[in-house]
């Protein structure tokens, strides 16, 4: 029913702090766009600017092709679900849901019809006469959703709506929100700091950092091709393993013998030394041919790595000597925390892990599973 367009939107607070530094996003009709990022990255501010609760310092926000910069939240025809639900504590569930409609002068019987319909969809019919404090967290969450849905707005805005629920309920509500959003076909913007929530919900995923957009796209595309080391480490759990490569004096990636090759670490002298000694064990110097000239950081996902106790490594693979520090069995899979290349590498293996702490082994990653980033952290 509506598209949402952000054009170079900025938010500069009175103190001069720039919370949002020029963000452009085009959200297609009926899409669920998830803004994800660490706290303080400006995602909530951006959402509040779309809602009209925060003024826009520069740029333009349009809903349905109409610039809404100067319009208040009421006239923007949006509905918002807040983190703490923000239910009116003195009103019954019914009145909480009806309040927005009443303020818009909707006829009484129409209000009644819509509230009861929405309550039915959300399984709230039995709770209409209760007050918010008599409800459980999940029920409150539902009422907050109901309050948004009942108005039938152009755009839904969600501000970390699941962060106050326990893990099990969160998973359940996540599915419900997704289904509901698809069924209603209302364009939605959803803010979260939980990458799992972001991945599972999004039609369009926006990864933000420090007031800027790092990457926009399909969640799986972003997962498979992170545009930067930030995205790589933020999306996916456990995060992508990142190893810094040092350059030689000529300013190039060391090539040739394994000894002079990739010193992997944090770029620090200590890390370099640690890796220099480990370097001979990298498979026959074949690391470098994988690496683009500009590459300075090497990354691979925990699930793309494997471990081997043997000396031989498959062709066309990177093998990094590592010492197991800890093993975390989670049931269907296990996580190995390894010390390697002066840093910590996490490897996800299926089922039970055979490795034990203090084992010496090698982490093997196939060449096509490697991600390369330049010094600034941009994908190469």
Partner 1 sequence: MTESYPLRTFIAHAVLILGILIVAFPIYYTFVASTHSLQTILRPPLPLLPGDRFIENYSEALFGGVGRIGGVSVGTLLFNTTVMALGIAIGKICISILSAYAIVFFRFPLRMTFFWLIFVTLMLPVEVRILPTYKVMVDFGLIDTYAGLIVPIIASATATLLFRQFFLTIPGELVEAARVDGAGPFRFFKDILLPLSKTNIAALFVILFIYGWTQYLWPLLVTNRNDMNTIVIALRKMISFADADTEWHLVMVTCMLAIVPPILVVVLMQRWFVRGLVDTEK
Residues that bind partner 1 (CB under 8 A): 48, 51, 53, 72-74, 78-80, 82-91, 99-100, 103-104, 133, 147
Between 161 and 254, whose beta carbon lies closer to partner 1?
A: 161
Between 104 and 344, whose beta carbon lies closer to partner 1?
A: 104
- Residue 93 beta carbon to partner 1: minimum distance, rounded to whole angstroms: 14
CA-closest candidate to residue 75, choices 84, 64, 89, 85: 64
- Residue 60 beta carbon to partner 1: minimum distance, rounded to whole angstroms: 21
Cβ neighbours for 74, distance < 8 A, ≥ 6 positions apart: 103
Six-digit token string for 333 = 């899979």
- Residue 121 beta carbon to partner 1: minimum distance, rounded to whole angstroms: 19
Between 82 and 337, whose beta carbon lies closer to partner 1?
A: 82
Between 69 and 233, whose beta carbon lies closer to partner 1?
A: 69
- Residue 186 beta carbon to partner 1: minimum distance, rounded to whole angstroms: 15
- Residue 341 beta carbon to partner 1: minimum distance, rounded to whole angstroms: 46
Between 141 and 215, whose beta carbon lies closer to partner 1?
A: 141
- Residue 255 beta carbon to partner 1: minimum distance, rounded to whole angstroms: 57
Between 4 and 207, whose beta carbon lies closer to partner 1?
A: 4
Dump strand ranges (E) for the chain.
4-12, 18-27, 32-36, 58-63, 66-67, 78-81, 155-159, 187-192, 204-209, 212-217, 241-245, 264-265, 297-300, 305-308, 317-329, 333-340, 343-350, 360-366, 371-373
Q: Is 368 exposed, middle or buried (0-12, 13-18, 19+ CB in 10 A)?
A: exposed
The whole-angstrom separation of Cα 82 and Cα 80 is 6
Between 13 and 88, whose beta carbon lies closer to partner 1?
A: 88
- Residue 102 beta carbon to partner 1: minimum distance, rounded to whole angstroms: 9
Cβ neighbours for 218, distance < 8 A, ≥ 6 positions apart: 203, 204, 205
Q: What Cα–Cα distance (Å) separates residue 1 from each residue in 75, 128, 348, 368?
A: 16, 29, 43, 42
Return the bridge partners of 63, or none: 4, 66
């Amino acid at each position: 029913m509506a598209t949402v367009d952000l054009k170079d939107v900025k938010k500069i607070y009175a103190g001069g702090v720039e919370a949002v530094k020029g963000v452009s996003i085009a959200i297609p009709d009926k899409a669920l766009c998830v803004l994800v990022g660490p706290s303080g990255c400006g995602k909530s501010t951006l959402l509040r600017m779309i809602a009209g609760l925060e003024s826009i310092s520069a740029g333009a926000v349009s809903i349905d092709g109409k610039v809404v910069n100067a319009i208040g939240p009421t006239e923007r025809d949006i509905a918002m679900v807040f983190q703490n639900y923000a239910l009116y504590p003195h009103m019954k569930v019914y009145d909480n849901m009806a309040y927005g409609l009443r303020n818009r002068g909707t006829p009484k019987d129409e209000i009644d019809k819509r509230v009861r319909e929405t309550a039915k969809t959300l399984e709230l019919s039995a709770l209409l006469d209760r007050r918010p404090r008599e409800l459980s967290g999940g029920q409150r969450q539902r009422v907050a959703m109901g309050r948004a849905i009942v108005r039938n707005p152009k755009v839904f805005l969600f501000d970390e709506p699941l962060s106050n629920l326990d893990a099990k309920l969160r998973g359940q509500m996540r599915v419900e929100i997704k289904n509901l959003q698809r069924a209603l076909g209302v364009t939605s913007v959803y803010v979260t700091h939980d990458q799992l929530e972001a991945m599972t919900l999004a039609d369009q995923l926006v990864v933000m950092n420090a007031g800027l957009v790092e990457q926009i796209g399909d969640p799986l595309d972003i997962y498979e091709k992170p545009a930067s080391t930030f995205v790589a480490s933020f999306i996916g759990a456990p995060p992508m393993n990142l190893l810094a490569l040092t350059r030689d004096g000529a300013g190039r990636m060391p090539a040739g013998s394994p000894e002079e090759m990739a010193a992997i670490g944090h770029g620090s002298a200590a890390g370099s030394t640690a890796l220099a000694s480990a370097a001979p064990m990298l498979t026959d110097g074949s690391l470098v041919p994988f690496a683009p000239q500009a590459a300075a950081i090497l990354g691979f996902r925990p699930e793309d790595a494997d471990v081997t106790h043997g000396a031989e490594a498959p062709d066309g693979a990177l093998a990094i000597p590592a010492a197991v520090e800890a093993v975390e069995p989670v049931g269907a899979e296990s996580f190995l925390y390894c010390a390697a290349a002066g840093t910590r590498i996490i490897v996800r293996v299926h089922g039970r892990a055979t490795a034990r702490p203090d084992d010496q082994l090698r982490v093997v990653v196939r060449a096509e599973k490697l991600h390369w980033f330049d010094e600034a952290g941009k994908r190469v």
